[in-house]
Amino acid sequence: MGVILAVTSGKGGVGKSSVSTGLGFAFCSMAQKVLLVDMDEGLRCLDLMLGVDKQTVFDLSDALSTDRIEDSIYPDEKHKGLYLMPAPSKVGLVDTEKFAVFSQRVSSMFDVVIFDFPAGIDLPLYKALPENTNFLTVAILDPVSIRDASAIGNELYESGINARLILNRFVYKQSKKFKMRNIDDIIDMAGLRLIGIVPESEEITLLSLNHSLNKKGKPMAALMRIAKRIAGEQINLPGLKRI
């Protein structure tokens, strides 16, 4: 069984799905076979970010109701080794027990599986994931967002789940306004172990149009650092000015 990630957030608007997609890019660039699973029933977006929206016929609900999981998996033509399973277009089609069986099966089919959950908390589905799942909570540099991430982290911890924090859309000048001088200040505010910081970038904003990120750009470099840390490499966090 390979790497399994559950990407969560408090409220919406923090760029959680772009982080999930970017991590997919990062892992497949490391020669890993990667599956992105869109868990946002009724509001899916990963198919647009990867540019496979016109190809999708079957989705996660079809994979749960039949044994033909492969029919609901779509390859990303721009990134070798990256695949997507779209979320259902309607709400209420993901059965928890069937999802538990499904998550075990796909974790044996891919090197990396990234479950992109909608904003908020869905403990029954979280607990249906394999035991070795890594939970990542995405927030932006805003007191409300950081507080929401901390609340999710606490609720997960009380349920026996440890989460790590990804700070997204980071702008150094804003960190000074919030009196954050270094990484430790961010960790203290969130109450979660920080695994990475992704800078604000127009190319991430335009991901649903371009379907890729510049391999030499700062966002991709940040996502690569996160992916390598998840894979077990010891990589130091850069100073806030260098993000």
Give the DSSP per-residue string, the chain: --EEEEEEESSS-S-HHHHHHHHHHHHHHTT--EEEEE--TT---HHHHHT-TTT----HHHHHHSS-GGGG-EE-TTSTTEEEEPPPSSSS---HHHHHHHHHHHHHH-SEEEEEPPSS--HHHHHHS-TTPEEEEEEESSHHHHHHHHHHHHHHHHTT--EEEEEEEE-HHHHHHTT--SHHHHHHHH-SEEEEEEE--HHHHTHHHH-S--TTSHHHHHHHHHHHHHTT---PPPPGGG-
Over residues 206-234, the pLDDT tens digits come to: 888 888 999 999 999 999 999 999 998 98
| Mean pLDDT estimate for the chain | 88
Reported as a single tens digit per residue, the pLDDT across 180-194 is: 566 777 777 777 888
Output the pTM of the full model: 0.93
Residue 227: per-residue pLDDT: 96
Place of tokens 């804003």: 174
Q: What is the pLDDT of residues 136-159, one digit of tens each?
A: 999 988 888 888 888 888 888 888
Residue 165's pLDDT is what? Answer: 93
